Structure 1
Amino acid sequence: MSVTIIFGSDGGATKGVAAKLRKKCQGRSVDIKDATADDFENCHLLILGSPTYGDGTLQTDWEDNIAKLRGAKLAGRKVALFGTGDQVTYPFSFVDAMGILYDEVVELGAEVVGFTETEGYDFVESLAVREGKFVGLALDLDTQSGLTEKRVTAWLSQVLAFAPA
């Protein structure tokens, strides 16, 4: 089974999570700046990751390269999402970028896997919450870094179960 992780990262936190995921699943990780249509389309499971900036926007490289995602053929594909954010400083936009990516891939016909519980987080609202769950793996590396390894491991085993062999 092949897994491709496409991420955007400025400060390195989201890149670090992508690297951790890559190692755990023997996948490939690609910065969105370098991603091609093949990176989106030629894998069994596609994982997309972005930090959320300020009041709830995608990371700059994602914004600059969103046409790459929009041009990908994702209909019927399994896609998982992860987002990094700071629930204390930005409680009204925690991991909003993950919700933005969710809307993009659903519009392209992808099947999103890997929803997670909101329990254990302390935020007010998020575009990444649908029907009471996060649309993917929400990570706060600023205030809950001690939970990252456990959350990554549990989530990855969940999403890999959905990927076709």
Structure 2
Amino acid sequence: MIGIFYGSTTGNTEAAANDIAAALGVDAANVHNVGETSADTVAQYDTLLLGSSTWGSGDLQDDWYDFLDAFKAQDLAGKKIALFGCGDSDGYPDTFVGALAQIYDALADSGATFVGQVDGDGYGSTDTESFRDGKFVGLPLDDADTDSHASRIADWVATL
């Protein structure tokens, strides 16, 4: 079963989470705002899709800080994790979707398997900490190119 967990300040990441849920046929009851959800909720899911917007100089969305600390304490062994996030490659090319790197690094030794990495083709910036070994660690949704969000989401969910 898939659980989608997101942190959103302006609504963009929430909209992305809902679009991803619709594309995967995930019921709204399985889409969770991390600011309103207990981290132990993750136990019921085999696959976790985690989304955050990026703020400041590559920072997580505020609700993620407390949630991520509690999330790391959960047993994630054997689970699949895919990341998605919103950022602005024009305004902040060096920290574009930096929040994805923070989540990835925090959970790298969790025993979970990361899936859903994305090639950098067509993105304004790949010179960012979330771009590793020729791929983004998750799905970047670029505020500088909102017209491509629907197709990028469709392509990404097809790989999960």
TMscore range, shorter length: over 0.9
User: Contact conserved, 2:84 with 2:138, CA < 8 A, in 1?
Assistant: yes
Q: Map 1:3-22; keep pairs closer than 5 Å.
A: 3-22=2-21
Per mean C-alpha deviation after superposition, the further-off stretch among 53-62 and 30-39 is 30-39
Structure 2: state its 5+ residue gaps. none
Distance in structure 1 (CA, Å) of the matches to 2:123 and 2:89: 8
For residues 16 and 158 of structure 2, the distance between their equivalents in structure 1, rounded to whole angstroms, comes to: 15
Q: Give the superposition deviation at 1:134.
A: 0.4
Residues 126-165 of structure 1: CA deviation (Å, up to 9, x unaligned): 121110100110111x211111000001101101xxxxxx
- Report percent identity of matched pairs: 35
Report the TM-score, using the length of structure 2 for normalisation.
0.93
**For residues 8-62 of structure 1, what are the alpha-carbon distances to aligned partners after superposition, in whole Å with 9 as ceiling and x for unaligned?**
0000000000011112222221001122244212112110000010211101110
Q: Hey, what does 2:25 align to over in structure 1?
A: 26
Distance of 2:64 and 2:146 partners within structure 1: 24
Contact 2:6 2:33 in 1 (8 A): yes
Q: Distance in 2 between matches of 1:113 and 1:83?
A: 14
Aligned length: 157
- Distance in structure 1 (CA, Å) of the matches to 2:43 and 2:135: 27
> How many angstroms does 1:89 deviate by?
0.3
Cα distance change of structure 1 residues 111 and 147 upon mapping to structure 2, 3 Å threshold: same
Q: Which residue of 2 aligns with 1:163?
A: none
- Alignment correspondent of 2:148: 147
Aligned pairs (5 A) from 1:42-61: 42-61=44-63
Whole-Å Cα distance in 2 between the matches of residues 108 and 11 of structure 1? 30
Structure 1 residues without counterparts, runs of 5 or longer: 160-165
Q: What does 1:125-144 correspond to in 2, within 5 Å? A: 125-140=127-142, 142-144=143-145
* Structure 2 CA distance for aligned equivalents of residues 30 and 19 of structure 1: 10
SS state of the match for residue 54, structure 2?
strand
Task: State the superposition RMSD in angstroms.
Answer: 1.3
Instruction: Find out whether 1:93 has 2:89 as its counterpart.
Output: no
CA distance in 1, matches of 2:105, 2:126: 20
